[in-house]
Chain A
């Protein structure tokens, strides 16, 4: 009885919006952001000074974290693995790129409307959102699931990559969009802008984190986890599984679009290689390493893998693909719950990872239960 009660109390917390992990993650994000701002403001001579380049790098990581959240929302909580989320990221990026280009010279044809920021902001959300809506509607209505869904998302982003490589698209062909100078009337080159974009990206991560948290603790979130584990059952108790999937898929695509839009001004270029299947699948390994079905795991994974990438591609460029490939293999075989799984195990609160499905663990507990009964 006491065992159940303990578990029960531990468990209730995951239904509340502000669980311990949510608070902690929010706190780490905010404090980290403030710390970077303060250390950046220190004079160059100071040993603790954080350079503008580092701030820009961290800002880029934030956009990756945003993208990881988007993938985790549908993979971790809904069980649909998209190998084409880079496409939504890139669409958001292209929308932003068009807006930035329009600041220096007027764009031809329909693209000219992209010079207004509200239109561009709308496009950043709608372009990926609409693609996800149409694609998801077709896929989920016909019950394309599992690896089949993964494969056609990969084909989707591949097809888009080919399309965006064409000069006829009017989006710069294989060079993509570049030569950005101004955002909202401010020059993109100054360090002030770097810091502003860093803060904007950080805030976006925080907001998206809260949004995802709110969704996953809602009844809709539980329906989505139920869908992940027993889709047919959900249908037979009367939920429209295709609508649930579509709704979360579109939200996820929009988050990815925002991530892409924030990424572009910080990196200064967007080209069709963002559509490459490799990039999309790399995002999946961030989430897998961090721990799928935990939002903080996705954030952590994106940060860790990209930091590794930055360090290693500089130090030993040849080794990077070995390490990335090795990560894929090792994480799936040895760490199915990712870093988050290790953390929660280490904390001894084995039930706390939200909806994580560790059959082995469940079996263990079942045996323990039976032994004690």
Chain B
């Protein structure tokens, strides 16, 4: 029973009480178990064999442990590997250190696995290991889990064997490979064995390794390719193939990160593309509407503890509606009265953004909140050794595309979209034709604000939610809209995505901050270079 950080709601006090109860229980068990604690002789002998200064002897002792049929053997070997297996300095007991981070280590008896209080550097002599022994231990542990356990643990054990196969273990691994039923486990074992064979000078084995992206394969092949052996040329060609494949996947990875960063930009900017691009309203409080969307997600999650998935699903309409409602209120109370005065609108909405930020700070707290992600958004989709896509980023990317498609369809095919376009192009004419321009303004602004709320929902899955969340996106969002061409939804999509990718491509060379500066300056220069194409469509003055 370890404290579970994601349990969230549990109070600290209760946690302490539980821990105390647990300790009492363990103590009680220990007292009761004392008569039976006469350890079986054999395990102790095995452990005592480890108590030697010769690493070779230690290795043999470990081999003996692995070959025995003692229950705790995996645990011992793992502890030995981690440097957590030790012997009582003035005594005969063996301990496993469960946590060696502090000065006083909690320890358990290695044989009985019962709590043995605490130990320190002075009272427990930890068995030392060297690199050879470490390799040997890893091989042993891998074989142990290969021979037992489910497919997943066998697979990870097989993968651990790559580069660790030695002359000692090669035969047993080969045997295991022949017995293995799972295709994927067998594949890993083949790689491990081929790598061993190549090291022994077997040219045929190189073929198995062609195109393998495992770092260990590359690391092993590199010296061979650089060496003088007969294999060098062929190894070089295999290595070259691996390298080019890796580069390709690296690029794909960068592209993915870029697109994912870009999709956040697009989400943040797409609402602006409507309010600013289509309506011409400068809404500096747009970032705060994003923040409101994110806080809505957080609040729904607080209301539904333990169900982050459901909460997220509800937050999508919720964030849209709440932020949209804020937008409508802002439009009715402020923006409506500042029509045709863009600089004043800019200042007034900036004031609103300050008020909203402070409001959130006062109502919730100035601290950042963490929004939990549902299980299906955690982790990564590992396509191969070189390419893995984080699920939450992938989801945000898809979400962005869905929102974009929805908005585009809304503007293109619905009555509201038609009216919005009519009002933007010729307000007086639209009114004359019966369009209620004021109502259209309100709905359009509400829509833009609602989309900002959606951006907030998406952002809450990637970063912590705080009062300053929106502020950090406002400058970027405006640049994306302006860069893409005001009033052009496709432009916003392309601009956001390309800025994201450019930023990501630059990052490895110049670092994150400088990359951002370069992108900012680049956009500024671009805007100044091509203002007509972006700001005002070519036309005559009237």
Contacts and interface: CB of A to CB of B under 8 A. Distances in A.
- Asked if A and B form a direct contact in the complex, defined as CB atoms under 8 angstroms apart, the reply is yes
Interface of A: 81, 138-139, 141-144, 146-148, 150-152, 154-156, 158-159, 162-163, 165-166, 232, 277, 281, 284-285, 288, 318, 321-322, 324-329, 331-333, 336
Contacts of B528: 138-139, 141-142, 144, 152
A156 B527 CA distance: 12
Contact of A318 (B353, B358, B517, B541): B358
Interface string B61-99: 000000000000000000000000000000000000000
Q: Is the interface of B mostly helix, strand, loop or mixed?
A: helix
B531 A146 contact: no
A93 to B, nearest CB: 20
Q: How large is the interface on B (under 10, 10 to 19, 20 to 34, 35 or more residues)?
A: 35 or more
Contact of A147 (B334, B343, B475): B343
Could you say which of A285, A325, A326 has the most chain B C-beta atoms within 10 Å of its C-beta? A325
A136 to B, nearest CB: 10
A36 B535 CA distance: 51
B354 A324 contact: yes
19 contacts: A138-B528, A143-B531, A144-B527, A144-B528, A146-B343, A147-B282, A147-B343, A150-B343, A150-B346, A151-B479, A154-B478, A155-B475, A155-B523, A166-B513, A322-B355, A328-B347, A328-B352, A329-B334, A333-B334
A329 B348 contact: yes
Contact of A332 (B338, B353, B479, B514): B338
Interface in B508-524: 513-514, 516-517, 520-521, 523-524
A159 B344 contact: no
B3 interface: no
B362 A325 contact: no
A142 B516 contact: no
B344 A325 contact: no
Nearest to B337: A333
A-B pairs with the 8 shortest C-beta distances? A328-B351, A325-B354, A325-B355, A321-B358, A159-B520, A325-B351, A138-B528, A332-B348
B478 A151 contact: yes
A109 to B, nearest CB: 20
B482 interface: yes
A142 to B, nearest CB: 5
Interface of B: 282, 334, 337-338, 341-348, 350-359, 361-362, 475, 478-479, 482, 513-514, 516-517, 520-521, 523-525, 527-532, 535, 541
A166 B352 CA distance: 31
Given A288-B347, A336-B344, A144 B531 contact: yes
Contacts of A322: 354-355, 358-359
A150 B354 CA distance: 18
B478 A165 contact: no
Nearest to A236: B541
Contacts of B353: 325
Among A281, A327, A331, residue most surrounded by chain B Cβ atoms (within 10 Å): A281
Contacts of A154: 475, 478
Contacts of A147: 282, 342-343, 346
B354 A328 contact: yes
B346 A81 contact: yes
Nearest to A324: B354
Contact of B475 (A139, A277, A327): A277
Contacts of B362: 318
A148 B531 contact: yes
Nearest to A146: B342
Given A148-B482, A163-B517, A156 B524 contact: yes
Interface centre among A141, A318, A322 (most CB of B within 10 A): A322
A120 B531 CA distance: 37
Nearest to A165: B513
A329 B524 contact: no
Given A148-B527, A151-B482, A333-B334, A285 B347 contact: yes
Contacts of B346: 81, 147, 150
B81 to A, nearest CB: 40
Contact of A155 (B338, B351, B361, B524): B524
Contacts of B344: 332-333, 336
A328 B517 contact: no
B523 to A, nearest CB: 7
A268 B359 CA distance: 32
A325 B352 contact: yes
A336 B343 CA distance: 11
A328 B527 contact: no
B351 A329 contact: yes
Contacts of A144: 527-528, 531, 535
A281 B346 CA distance: 10
Contacts of B531: 142-144, 148
A285 B351 CA distance: 9
Nearest to A141: B528
Contacts of B527: 142, 144, 148, 152
